[in-house]
Amino acid sequence: MRFRPDRRPSKWGATAAVVDQQSAEAVVEYLAALKGTPFDGVIRLSDLTEIKGYRYVLLQVNLDFGHPHFPRIADTLDEIGGSEFQLIVVETPEGSVYLIVDKHNLPDEEMRPDHPLLRRLADWLGPALSAVS
């Protein structure tokens, strides 16, 4: 599976990466296999939901402290408050799947999709995923 970084705006959070010609289920399976990804745990928090041709799944992911890219994000994780966060997997009708760092990772008073902490996490995640796919 070939991820590439993506910074497309989203109302749900900060877009990190995209993979073309895949399904949401295939991406979730790939991430859950933990082979070379920056995760050491992936928990599915929702069933697959379809609205207007878009398919969504919410995941809780835990970052792997031993991953070679981990040191680059450690300071941001301290600010966010931990190494786990929610990730939205969104499949478009055209067959692209986007990974979005959910704005609900932030406290209510700071919850907005363009928050700098979300952007830094997404800017790290996109390249970390593309380096191993």
Asked if residues 28 and 12 have their Cβ atoms less than 8 Å apart, the reply is no
Nearest in space to 27 (alpha carbons), one of 98, 130, 102, 121? 98
Question: pLDDT tens for residues 57-68?
Answer: 999 999 999 888
- CA 118-120-125 angle, to 5 degrees, is 90
Kindly state the average pLDDT of the residues 111-123. 92
Q: Write b or e for each residue in 89-111: b if 16 or more Cβ atoms lie within 10 A of its Cβ, otherwise e.
A: bbbeeeeebbbbbbbebbeeeee
Could you tell me if 52 and 126 are in contact, meaning their C-beta atoms sit under 8 angstroms apart? no
β-pair partners for 39: 63
Q: What is the pTM of this model?
A: 0.93
- pLDDT of res. 62: 94
Positive or negative, the CA dihedral 25, 30, 34, 40 is: negative
pLDDT tens by residue, 98-114: 999 999 988 888 889 88
